[in-house]
Amino acid sequence: MRLFSWDRPVFAAASLTLALSGTASQAQWLAPAYELRLHPDFEAKTVTAQAAISLRRGAQLQDELRLSAPDLEIRSASIEGLALSPEKREGYWLIKLPPLLAARLEMTLQLDYLARAGEGLVFGADYVYTAFHTCRWLPCVGSDLGRASLKTTLDLPAGFSSLASGVPLAPPVPQAARAQQWLEAAPYPRYTLGFAAGRFTQSSESAGDKQLHYLGVSDEVAALQAKFKATPAMLAFFSAKAGLALPHPSYSQLLLPGGVAQEMSSYAAIGHKMLDPILENEQEDWVIAHELAHQWWGTWISCEQWSEFWLNEGITVFMTAAWKQQRWGEAAYQRELDIAARGWQRAKDANFDKPLSWPGDYPSLSLKRSIHYSKGALFMHALRQDLGEDAFWAGFKRYSQASAGRQVRAADLQTAMEAAAGRSLQPLFDAWVYAASSGQ
């Protein structure tokens, strides 16, 4: 997700108000698995849905369940055949649990609900897609950073294709009206779970043992192939730097109208405004690189708290620059660093420069981005300069391999980099990362 640009069009896939407002809220219940059946209505611009949500109670007894999805219309709720009565409150739905259920350690919540088009659930005349604001279409339990698996069944009209987190359980066939199923079996950050459906043009190619799929709403096959032609080389670059293959057997990129740029587990949604400059200058490939890099740093490896969102975005901005350096040369790398420096300068000019892992609230999303995206990328560059090429990339690979499939803190990156450097990096991390030692 790239939410700023100083010499490119500005865009925002989402307002990120919740995501960038400090630490994640403490969940009363956890939801490690969701199963959904979705019925998009392209005329009404709504999705009717049935959900089975696996619930797991924490250490303390909780006699109520909160769903942080206030815009959903919940029509019914039950657990093991026992009807419940959801109550809509300001900012959430409340479900009171009878003692027998409240005492359970695990159970499954069944819901029928309606989601309407809005931020996070976007409809066109013959397509629909989700982006970031998962709780606009999913009955959310717990923190957006919490990890969950997702099984998605989409009931679609004839001629419609689908795309969703994970892998298809059967090849999506658009010719006839039918249910199309997808499964993300591994737990991923909930805000990276999603789906899309529409009358998509499609093209595919192999990249080693991985499959790359290019989909579009209005583009011809040849145009999709031309715009995404750098993807195989990028895939090889990021795999080598991470020391990890792409975590899914395939990766899809969906080209859409507008300015969306959103990573999801196993795919990305990319708007024409973000990608079309590549037609005039092939070096404007940053959005492909940025969203692909997120398949490692941001989805597979994700921050434990929103206060350390730079571990998702700052690293990805830096890796986009590193790709450009490898593909287009030193001047392209320096241009990306210059963009980041101008972003960081905005925080300095506002007298609101903060350590990367500062846990407080920001007065604006713009300033938050200046720190987590821009300063985060520049810190990675500073680490690279301090350690040198061999030690830096060895430490980065060590961090990526040790962190795969889990949530991380800044200390995880520090530990890996110090192991590669063979010395303490505490002064450098204190200067850039940690709030307590900086006095800010």
DSSP string covering 154-196, please? Answer: EEE-TT-EEEESSEESS----SS-EEEEEEEEEEEEGGG--EE
Model confidence band, residue 144 (pLDDT cutoffs 50, 70, 90):
confident
Average pLDDT, the chain: 92
Contact predicate 47/38, CB 8 Å? yes
Q: Tokens 């040369």 — which residue?
A: 329
Q: What is the mean pLDDT of residues 10-27?
A: 39
Structure tokens at 348: 């300095």
Contact predicate 404/247, CB 8 Å? yes
pLDDT at 36: 98
Which has the closest alpha carbon to 267: 210, 209, 325?
210
Task: Tell me how far apart the alpha carbons of residues 79 and 98 are, in angstroms, rounded to a whole number.
Answer: 11
Q: Which amino acid is at 153?
A: T
Contact predicate 240/296, CB 8 Å? no
Q: Which amino acid is at 218?
A: S
Which has the closest alpha carbon to 400: 329, 318, 325?
318
Please say if the pLDDT value at position 52 is more than 60.
yes
With 0-12 CB in 10 A as exposed, 13-18 as middle and 19+ as buried, what is 59? Answer: exposed
Contact predicate 270/287, CB 8 Å? yes
pLDDT at 364: 95
Please say if the pLDDT value at position 412 is more than 50.
yes
Greatest Cα pair distance, the chain, in angstroms, is 65
Exposure string (b/e) for 218-251, b if CB count within 10 Å is 16 or more? ebeeebbeebbebbeebbebbbebbbbebbbebb
Model confidence band, residue 1 (pLDDT cutoffs 50, 70, 90):
low
User: What's the pLDDT tens digit per position in 83-139?
Assistant: 999 999 999 999 999 999 999 999 999 999 999 999 999 999 999 999 989 999 999
Model confidence band, residue 61 (pLDDT cutoffs 50, 70, 90):
confident
Model confidence band, residue 178 (pLDDT cutoffs 50, 70, 90):
confident
Please say if the pLDDT value at position 145 is more than 90.
no
Q: What is the mean pLDDT of residues 257-282?
A: 96
Please say if the pLDDT value at position 212 is more than 70.
yes
Q: Which domains does the chain have, with CATH numbers?
A: 29-198 (2.60.40.1730), 303-438 (1.10.390.10)
Please say if the pLDDT value at position 57 is more than 80.
yes
% of the chain surpassing 90 pLDDT: 87
Query: Length of the chain in residues, anyone?
Result: 440
pTM beyond cutoff 0.85: yes
DSSP letters, 389-403, are HHHHHHHHHHHHHHH
% of the chain surpassing 70 pLDDT: 91
Please say if the pLDDT value at position 7 is more than 50.
no
Q: Which of 7-21, 41-55, 204-218, 328-342 has the lowest mean pLDDT?
A: 7-21
Which has the closest alpha carbon to 285: 250, 258, 320, 312?
320
Please say if the pLDDT value at position 16 is more than 80.
no
Which residues are registered as beta bridge partners of 47? 40, 115
Q: Which of 16-20, 69-73, 273-277 has the lowest mean pLDDT?
A: 16-20
